[in-house]
Structure 1
Amino acid sequence: MSGIENSGTSEGRIKNATLIAGPTASGKSALALKLAERDGGVIVNADSMQVYGVLDVLTARPSADELTRVRHFLYGHVSPAMAYSTGSWLRDVAVLADSGLFTEKPPIFVGGTGLYFRALAEGISEMPEIPTEIRERWRWRLNEEGAPRLHRVLMSVDSAVAMRLKASDGQRIVRALEVLEASGRSILKWQADKGHPMIDLATARFIVIEPERELLIKRIDQRFDRMIEAGALDEVKEITAMRIGAELPAMKAIGVRELAAAMAGEMSFEEAIERAKIATRQYSKRQSTWFRNQFGPEWQRIGGEAGRQPGAADA
């Protein structure tokens, strides 16, 4: 989105949308809440981890109080046992738009997943529906055989795709295989088809929060301490008890692996907490780099104190 590209039109079905992006713990949820209350809008999640159930605390989802103040959508609505894609998210946004929700309530999309914002502003290629039996079979094979083995399978049937993927990238390998089997067409050909913007670019507002690095690190560390106090360990116990595949996105949420290792006696809780904080800092840096390189001049860049208010979310 370094200069938004689309298929020749800026007119999408969702008018007067506000997009608020920023790294984790930058205060974007607080700003979204402030704008939604001022403008009578609704908040729509644009963070790929906050879509999953169970992990309310560890993914810094809005609090119960915030949920009562403004209507929120697409938070915690996906089972951790599922792999949820950008395409799935965009289809869920389309369902909300088709319901008429955004006609009277301007939507505020807030999150840290750059690909979700790109999908809103540029659209994405249509992908074929994958029959349940095909999806389950390939995911079972991923669990049983591992990503490197399936990468070799992909290399034998669609080498152009396989050469673009790491042999350890199980999710993308499986996605390419299931698309090929379901449609008889390479995922590269599906991706080459141009999409259409979901939002009306002429009436949209684009905001990206760029906090000072030292301030952001401080917020990250303080927030993770609050997560522990608020029940993060209970969430890790619950999701671990589900015995779902370690390759699924929800299991890669920062804090799950670290705290699970501490509960198993593989490291101290102090070490687990410090590792999770370090991982969060690294993730926030990758987010900031992506936004800086991918977002164009249409994005208003503001400091990290924008929209802050006592008790507001730090997402």
Structure 2
Amino acid sequence: MKPAILIHGPTASGKTALAIEVAKRLGGEVINADSMQVYRDLQVISARPTEEEMDGVQHHLFGHVDAAERYSTGEWLEEARATIRKMELSGKRAILVGGTGLYLLALTQGLSNIPPVPEDVRADVRMIAETEGAEGLRERLAPVDAETAERLGTGDRQRLARAYEVYLATGRPITDFQKDRQPPVLQDGEWIGFALTPPRAKLYQKIDRRFEGMLMQGAMEEARKLIERNLDPELPAMKAHGMPWLAAFARGEITAEFAAENAKRDTRRYAKRQFTWIGRQFPFWPRIPSPELEERMRVILALYREIDRPVEADYS
């Protein structure tokens, strides 16, 4: 198997262009590892690559899921597994790219076997999260899963809600399932990961400019079409960066300027969390701080050729 290349980094850090260039130079194909770019309804809002940007490179798992679905990490992992194996048989190199660190973590370290949570339990926990906030969730979780409650504190309402709904659905703390992981799709030696870490000030400026460009490219029209479908606002696609603010503007609740500024702010905050994720979850991945495409390619090609070099037999 030709070692796969994994490219991770904060939003707007140039992952798409880099992955396409790597695929062109190494005879590879690109597999999406971004939880929003899977949705066909979010072409502009998720910054999904266009046919022109793909430049003839084969892309997989982009825009193939309807916004009404709750696409899970487990579903992505199985589709990624099948795609990687097909590419292996055809002699293609897999280039996995995206900002969803959990996808890449599951790919290389395995996925916890957490049972599905019934929708009524999800709804109950959502109500608790809305009325009691992260602190309320933590207080409820602490007696039944002290380890997770202590680790998360009150800084991650989404994960607190996830841990609490798993307990309500199964009667067991989420840590029990996290300790029982499926074997990873990619074993050690079958992949190499790179983390893009451009200067934050410049990245935040790029995030602002990109959102303004999205508005010109039809982000508002995309948001309106989703609103017209009357989808559950708790669906992942409805929580895409900028989507809640665009929806509020479309409903006449806020001004366009207020929507844009808050969408930019939330995206910058998300990028900051992605930097933190890289530091905690991928501490040994080579960092590429340069924003320049050629410099990034130089680093990737040098390290990739090192691990892809055939091992010479020892006949002594």
Give the TM bin, normalised by the shorter chain.
Answer: 0.7 to 0.9
1:101 aligns with 2:78: no
Q: 1:139 to 1:292 in 2, by over 3 A?
A: closer
Amino acid at match of 1:48: S
Amino acid at match of 1:70: V
- 1:56 — aligned with what? 43
- 2:106 — aligned with what? 119
Q: State the Cα deviation string for residues 165-198 of structure 1 (Å, max 9, x = none).
A: 87964555444444x2xxx765432221133222
Consecutive unaligned residues in structure 1, runs of 5 or more: 1-13, 310-315
1:50–1:76 CA contact under 8 A, matched in 2: yes
Query: Which one of the candidate residues 145, 149, 155 is aligned to 1:160?
Result: 145
SS in 2 for 1:54: helix
1:65 aligns with 2:48: no
Query: Which one of the candidate residues 13, 17, 20 is aligned to 1:33?
Result: 20
**Identical amino acids, percent of aligned pairs:** 39
Query: Which one of the candidate residues 244, 254, 259 is aligned to 2:231?
Result: 244
- 1:276 — aligned with what? 263
CA-based RMSD of the aligned residues comes to: 3.2
Q: State the Cα deviation string for residues 76-126 of structure 1 (Å, max 9, x = none).
A: 22222222222222122122234x223311111111111112112211223
Q: Which has the higher contact order (CA 8 A, sep 6+)?
A: 1
2:34–2:100 CA contact under 8 A, matched in 1: yes
TM-score, normalized by length of structure 2?
Answer: 0.78
Q: 1:161 to 1:46 in 2, by over 3 A?
A: farther
User: Aligned partners of 2:148 and 2:269: how far apart in 1?
Assistant: 27
1:17–1:204 CA contact under 8 A, matched in 2: yes
Amino acid at match of 1:71: Q
- Pairs within 5 Å for 1:250-289: 250-289=237-276
1:27–1:308 CA contact under 8 A, matched in 2: no
Amino acid at match of 1:266: E
Aligned length: 285
User: Aligned partners of 1:20 and 1:252: how far apart in 2?
Assistant: 24
| Alpha-carbon distance, 1:25 to partner | 0.6
Amino acid at match of 2:29: V
SS in 1 for 2:249: helix
1:15–1:200 CA contact under 8 A, matched in 2: no
1:292 aligns with 2:279: yes
User: Aligned partners of 2:147 and 2:41: how far apart in 1?
Assistant: 34
1:31–1:306 CA contact under 8 A, matched in 2: yes
TM-score, normalized by length of structure 1?
Answer: 0.78
- 2:309 — aligned with what? none
Deviates more, 1:42-51 or 1:239-248: 239-248
| Alpha-carbon distance, 1:17 to partner | 0.3
